[in-house]
Chains A and B, each alone.
Chain A
């Protein structure tokens, strides 16, 4: 039987987390590509933006390249759907508003703007004032309510699938 590297206790093959100390034993890399919430794989010439969902052991990658895009949560009674729908990823529980934030390009920079959301938009733990664009950098942590996403920008399309493995 394999041994947990943290607490030294044996565990059964295929175990995902150590029962005693909670150490992740199964590599938590992407094991299946979930359908992206926004548009599909990049096809155009503009750089691709990848949002990696951090509020989960699993790193969902939301891949989309048609900006501007509204990030939010689709709701049954709502006519306008956001381009990036976080409802399937716990958007409601984590306080994502229906129209939460907008991503767009400005002078070659990726910008985010909070759309006066109920629970706020945060970049690296600083809360953004509503309706004021803010410039995002590669690797920034974007937080919508309590849902956290890491931001990647890829100009080279082939590099989209070679993001660093975060653990």
Chain B
């Protein structure tokens, strides 16, 4: 397949597309097509006179429905789309499960959950994903000794696992940054050893210096045919340049460069690194013991190489009756997704595992019938082909006059909401502790520990109980305990169909 055959945009602009007109997916069932048609007719029928100038659109709706509701004609139309190169093969699937399945006609706003599943559709072996990786290493005084030694060893082991057409660059920073290795195809360890030997510890931690130098190196070697990634390793707080770092991360995200961070030990700022990586679709890895740096590097490399779709983002287009409340990634990490420029950055979709997102929306009162509440759009790039890919789906939910039964909540949504509730508890604990509300924070800590025990998460529960004890004495969360709690919560995984890692 040539890249031109994958070009979605030419088919989208101007020319009518029956599926788009009805707002259904290519693979929509006859029922979905009929429901979408009825929905549109109600809104756009010229006799309804609701909206002026709709008769042209109404004719298009008719045409689209006549074609797509007839199996023979639909098949011919699909054939036509493929011949014209307007239908790229689907590279991933977008599935949406609403909960409750039906909403009640009530006169107050209500919550609608959506469990969104993104499943890779890739036949391995695909051409392997190439990497453009820059390692940005903190060489401040606190890295001296065991930590820097572990980093040197970890980089050598990492390079042994990289493929010859991957690109590596290296930056070290303290008060200023130094390029140790400009971008180049995986260097031999013989070349790397003397460079790493020159990596010694001295000075303070100014992350912006390192970040800026690293991003410029990734930028130099950047292409759509690679995963372009910066990995920052630090053990300290940055001083005064946090805002500049966040702006740089957002600029990187716009160039499809993702940023992850490894925090070593206990004396780094998890709020700052979380914001930094969230802005650029990456993750934070908490490395309590420097001996684990090597393992963390290899695991991170494996994940980067597993990327089937990179820089996956999601947009939600709401109908007037509904609005966004919050969104949470459930896998591979449990965390809240920040909406930046109207987009939710999800990072990469791997060859092997689906991604799950729980979206909470507020829905205002509506009358009986099936209502179109929002459209979900997920887009990313496929490094193996260097092409963009996108999937869209419309969410329609039936509204019924209140019966005597409780709304049916799918099991998977209850499970996801339970994990999200633990995440909210953890953040509530941080917030209460920050405000010096020790009794409130302690009560929440104990309550969360009890729930974790019930779920068989004995280790994390134990860490929370210990933290509750310390909190009562010191009046604040310990840096180590706060990190164990935050990253332990993030590692909680809901039991979702096909979602186990």
CA distance A146 to B461 in the complex (A): 13
Interface contact B362-A12, CB-CB below 8 Å? yes
CA distance A115 to B495 in the complex (A): 25
CA distance A34 to B106 in the complex (A): 30
* Of B106, B108, B457, the contact of A146 (CB 8 Å cutoff): B457
Q: B408 at interface (Cβ–Cβ under 8 A)?
A: yes
CA distance A55 to B457 in the complex (A): 9
CA distance A12 to B411 in the complex (A): 19
Q: Write the nearest CB–CB distance from A61 to chain B, whole angstroms.
A: 11
Closest to A20 in B: B428
CA distance A90 to B428 in the complex (A): 27
Given the interface pairs A31-B410, A34-B411, A88-B497, the reply to whether A22 lies near B110 with Cβ below 8 Å is no
Q: A79 at interface (Cβ–Cβ under 8 A)?
A: no
The digit string for B101-144, where 1 denotes a CB below 8 A from any CB of A, is 00110101111110000000000000000000000000000000
Residues of A within 8 A of B493 (CB): 90, 93
Q: B395 at interface (Cβ–Cβ under 8 A)?
A: no
Q: B180 at interface (Cβ–Cβ under 8 A)?
A: no
Identify which of residues 383-408 in chain B touch chain A, using a CB-to-CB cut-off of 8 Å: 406-408
* Of B104, B413, B424, the contact of A19 (CB 8 Å cutoff): B424
Residues of A within 8 A of B409 (CB): 14, 16, 26, 31
The digit string for B419-455, where 1 denotes a CB below 8 A from any CB of A, is 0111011001000000000000000100110010011
Residues of A within 8 A of B495 (CB): 56, 88-90
Identify which of residues 125-151 in chain A touch chain B, using a CB-to-CB cut-off of 8 Å: 143, 146-148
* Of B110, B407, B456, the contact of A147 (CB 8 Å cutoff): B456
Identify which of residues 470-501 in chain B touch chain A, using a CB-to-CB cut-off of 8 Å: 493, 495, 497, 500-501
Identify which of residues 321-366 in chain B touch chain A, using a CB-to-CB cut-off of 8 Å: 362
Q: A3 at interface (Cβ–Cβ under 8 A)?
A: no
CA distance A16 to B407 in the complex (A): 11
CA distance A93 to B79 in the complex (A): 44
The contact size tier of chain A is: 35 or more
Q: Write the nearest CB–CB distance from A77 to chain B, whole angstroms.
A: 15
CA distance A147 to B495 in the complex (A): 12
Interface contact B408-A31, CB-CB below 8 Å? yes
Q: Write the nearest CB–CB distance from A129 to chain B, whole angstroms.
A: 21
Residues of A within 8 A of B410 (CB): 31-32
Interface contact A15-B111, CB-CB below 8 Å? yes
Interface contact A58-B456, CB-CB below 8 Å? no
Residues of B within 8 A of A147 (CB): 456
Residues of A within 8 A of B497 (CB): 88
CA distance A21 to B445 in the complex (A): 10
Residues of A within 8 A of B88 (CB): none
The digit string for A76-103, where 1 denotes a CB below 8 A from any CB of B, is 0000000000011110111000000000
Interface contact A21-B447, CB-CB below 8 Å? yes
The digit string for A1-18, where 1 denotes a CB below 8 A from any CB of B, is 100000000001111111
Q: Is chain B's interface secondary structure helix, strand, loop, or mixed overall?
A: mixed
Q: B261 at interface (Cβ–Cβ under 8 A)?
A: no
Q: A41 at interface (Cβ–Cβ under 8 A)?
A: no
Q: Which of A13, A89, A143, A148 gathers most chain B CB within 10 Å?
A: A13
CA distance A13 to B69 in the complex (A): 37
Q: A40 at interface (Cβ–Cβ under 8 A)?
A: no
CA distance A57 to B111 in the complex (A): 19
Q: A54 at interface (Cβ–Cβ under 8 A)?
A: yes
Q: B458 at interface (Cβ–Cβ under 8 A)?
A: yes
Residues of B within 8 A of A16 (CB): 113, 409, 413-414, 417-418, 421
CA distance A22 to B444 in the complex (A): 9
Q: Write the nearest CB–CB distance from A93 to chain B, whole angstroms.
A: 6
Q: B415 at interface (Cβ–Cβ under 8 A)?
A: yes
Interface contact B418-A57, CB-CB below 8 Å? yes
CA distance A60 to B496 in the complex (A): 13
Q: Write the nearest CB–CB distance from A156 to chain B, whole angstroms.
A: 27
Interface contact A55-B413, CB-CB below 8 Å? no
Residues of B within 8 A of A28 (CB): 414
Interface contact B500-A13, CB-CB below 8 Å? no
Given the interface pairs A14-B407, A28-B414, A90-B495, the reply to whether A22 lies near B421 with Cβ below 8 Å is yes
Q: A27 at interface (Cβ–Cβ under 8 A)?
A: yes
The digit string for A27-59, where 1 denotes a CB below 8 A from any CB of B, is 110011010000000000000000000111110
The 8 closest A-B pairs by CB, nearest first: A17-B421, A146-B456, A13-B110, A57-B418, A12-B111, A16-B417, A90-B495, A14-B111
* B interface residues, Cβ below 8 angstroms from A: 99-100, 103-104, 106, 108-113, 362, 406-411, 413-415, 417-418, 420-422, 424-425, 428, 444, 447-448, 451, 454-458, 493, 495, 497, 500-501
* A interface residues, Cβ below 8 angstroms from B: 1, 12-22, 26-28, 31-32, 34, 54-58, 60, 87-90, 92-94, 143, 146-148
Instruction: Add 10 more A-B contacts to A20-B428, A56-B455 (CB < 8 A).
Output: A14-B409, A15-B111, A16-B417, A21-B425, A21-B447, A26-B406, A32-B410, A57-B415, A88-B495, A90-B500
